């Protein structure tokens, strides 16, 4: 019987450690998922900003080739204002 009691004590002592490990593991797992989601969001934002930068550079390169007296439209709020390229 002494052996059985010892086994029961060891089993009861191991249970709180297992619960703590499970709790710590679950917490780390949720942090990992949160970090992965944030990393994916950051990657998407980087891709979007890269595309916007490329579009702006291409637009600027095209506009730069136009003569200075070319009439263009500048957006001001809801209206468009006609200007020459040199005035922009």
- 3-class SS string, the chain: CHHHHHHHHHHHHHHHHHHHHHHHHHHHHHHHHHHHHHHHHHHHHHHHHHHHHHHHHHHHHHHHCCCCCCEEEEEECCEEEEEEHHHC
Q: How confident is the model over 39-85, as pLDDT tens digits? A: 999 999 999 999 999 999 998 898 888 888 888 887 777 777 777 76
Determine if the pTM surpasses 0.75.
no
């Amino acid at each position: 019987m002494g052996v059985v009691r010892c086994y029961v004590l060891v089993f009861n002592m191991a249970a709180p450690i297992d619960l703590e490990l499970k709790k710590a593991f679950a917490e780390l797992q949720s942090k990992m998922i949160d970090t992965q989601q944030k990393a994916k969001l950051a990657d998407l934002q980087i891709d979007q900003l890269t595309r916007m930068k490329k579009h702006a550079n291409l637009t600027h390169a095209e506009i730069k080739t136009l003569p200075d007296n070319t009439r263009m439209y500048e957006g001001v709020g809801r209206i468009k204002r006609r200007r020459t390229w040199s005035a922009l």
